[in-house]
Amino acid sequence: MGALSIRNVRKTFGHTEILKGIDIEVEAGEFLILVGPSGCGKSTLLSMIAGLDTPTAGSIHIGERDVTHLPSKDRDIAMVFQSYALYPNMNVAQNISFALEMRKVAKPQREEIVQRVAKMLQISHLLDRKPGQLSGGQRQRVAMGRALARDPKLFLFDEPLSNLDAKLRVEMRAEIKLLHQRTRTTTVYVTHDQVEAMTLGDRIAVMKDGVVQQFGTPDDIYSRPATRFVAEFIGSPAMNMIQGMRSGDGLSAQGVQLALSQEQRGGLNGSSEIVYGLRPEHLSFGAQGLPGTLTMLEPTGPETYALVHTPVGLLTARVPGKVNERVGDPVMLAWDASNAHLFDAKTDARLG
């Protein structure tokens, strides 16, 4: 049995089913990401792991213990919220040690733990300050320190970086990853940000409408998305999708023939309506290919996003460096057919 086992968990509010049979096994020391759009059920699932809510059906195990109906205080978990939830009348040291004090840990041991955690999070110089005297990033470090002081079996993070600005989010993301590498505590982290999911997680559960669409490593999910939803949700800019019909050894989309590799042709399984997906980084400008008109350029420094109007629709290319062409210029888009992802247009499931 893993560090966390979620077995056929369902949750219903009234006549609305929010979670529709979730099965996830998390290994000891693993960093699991629950990712998906708002309303997909990820925070509801985290609340049930934390003991803040109870499943309508199914079970949750932490280690060998069935904790499905145990209160939060008996689960040996620590949670970091989107809101820092610090006590404003206490200084940083008191906030970090409060849970230890409630557990009647001896004062010398509490002070030792506070110093160790503060050093790890580089907030030793802030121990005498109140939360109102701290920046957003510092408050989040204190919230993490309070969780770390517990030394729990399970860390739970509920969108902890959502309130931070872009630069600070990148910094705190790195802090959380380094923290996990040091402690190796099993962690479940909820986010709607696919960049956070890809950079932090050992494994990712991509959720939609109360269902896990795909569960795997970041590379699995990016390289072989199980459904059209996963393909479009993971990756920035989003994957280009071209609607086509099977035609001979390839696909026909708006009168344009799209090539398929031999392996792809063998995996079509009789499907006739097919969605042909291309990641923007697999498209390039060339002397031959699909003709189009350059509609918009978004330079980011190391690369440029180019929006091209083609006979099969608007396609986005992710081109290294600068683009010499200008908006309105005719261009040719080229790609390797083996980089295409194919999905059944009726079921959205991956083909091949």
Tell me, what's the pLDDT at 155? Answer: 92
Asked if the model's pLDDT at residue 272 lies above 80, the reply is yes
Tell whether 199 and 324 lie within a shared domain: no
Cα–Cα distance list, 7 to 10, 55, 79, 218, 264 (Å): 9, 11, 21, 22, 35
Nearest to 263 by CA among 133, 351, 151: 351
Does residue 66 sit within a domain? yes
If asked whether residues 93 and 168 sit together in one domain, one would say yes
Instruction: Based on the fold, state whether residues 63 and 157 are members of the same structural domain.
Output: yes
* pLDDT score at 1: 60
Q: What is the 3-class SS of 157-224, one letter each residue?
A: EECCCCCCCHHHHHHHHHHHHHHHHHHCCEEEEEECCHHHHHHHCCEEEEEECCEEEEEECHHHHHHC
Three-state DSSP class for residue 51: coil
pLDDT digits (tens, 9 = 90+) for 61-105: 999 999 999 999 899 999 888 777 889 999 999 999 988 888 889
349 assigned to some structural domain: no
Are residues 93 and 173 located together in one domain of the fold?
A: yes
Does residue 107 fall inside a structural domain?
yes
* Token output for 50: 């934390």
DSSP state of 39: T
pTM of the model: 0.89
User: Is 352 domain-assigned?
Assistant: no
Which domain covers residue 227, as residue numbers?
4-232
**Mean pLDDT (whole number) for 177-181:** 89
Residues 307 and 208 reside in one and the same domain: no
Q: Is the peptide bond before 320 cis (omega within 30 degrees of 0)?
A: no
- Rounded to whole angstroms, the Cα distance separating 132 from 34 reads 31
Pairing relationship of beta strands 250-253 and 240-247 according to DSSP bridges: antiparallel
pLDDT at position 148 over 90: no
Average pLDDT estimate for 187-197: 94
Structural domain total, the chain: 2
Torsion of CA 146, 149, 153, 156, to 10 degrees: 20
What tokens were used for 284? 């390039």
Both 151 and 226 in one domain: the answer is yes
Contact (Cβ atoms closer than 8 angstroms) between residue 37 and residue 192: yes
203 and 85 share one domain: yes
Question: CB of 207 within 8 A of CB of 176?
Answer: no
- For 8-54, how does the pLDDT look when each residue is reduced to its tens digit (9 = 90+)? 999 999 999 999 999 999 999 999 999 999 999 999 999 999 999 99
- Which residues lie below 8 Å from residue 97, measured CB to CB, with a gap of 6+? 110, 111, 113, 114, 149
Residue 74: inside a domain: yes
Do 118 and 146 reside in the same domain of the chain?
yes
**228 and 244 assigned to the same domain:** no
Strand runs labelled E in the chain? 4-13, 16-26, 31-35, 57-62, 65-66, 77-80, 154-158, 186-191, 203-208, 211-216, 240-247, 250-253, 256-258, 273-278, 284-299, 303-310, 313-320, 330-334, 341-344
Say if residue 209 is in the same domain as residue 241.
no
* pLDDT reported for residue 229: 97
The answer to the question of residue 150 being in a domain is yes
Residue 69 sits in the same domain as residue 85: yes
Q: Does the structure show a pLDDT above 90 at 175?
A: no
Residue where a domain terminates, one of 232, 248, 268: 232
**Residue 3 has what DSSP assignment?**
S
Mean pLDDT of 305-322: 95
What tens digit of pLDDT does each residue of 200-229 get? 999 999 999 999 999 999 999 999 999 999
227-269: pLDDT as tens digits? 999 999 999 899 999 999 988 778 899 989 998 888 888 888 7
Share above pLDDT 70 across residues of the chain, in percent, rounded to a whole number:
100
The predicted structure's pLDDT at residue 265: 83
Provide the CATH number for the domain around residue 82: 3.40.50.300
Beta bridge partners of residue 188, listed in sequence order: 32, 156
Those residues with Cβ within 8 angstroms of residue 180's Cβ, 6 or more apart along the chain or in another chain: 31, 187, 200
| Together in a domain, 11 and 39 | yes
Q: Which of 214, 232, 250 is the last residue of a domain?
A: 232
d(CA 350, CA 352) in angstroms, rounded, equals: 7
Q: Domain for residue 54, yes or no?
A: yes
Structural tokens at position 99: 């849970």
Higher pLDDT, 178 or 57: 57
- Residue 291 corresponds to which tokens in the numbers above? 């003709």
Domain boundary among 201, 232, 263: 232
Q: How many CB atoms lie within 10 A of CB 305?
A: 17
Does residue 351 fall inside a structural domain? no
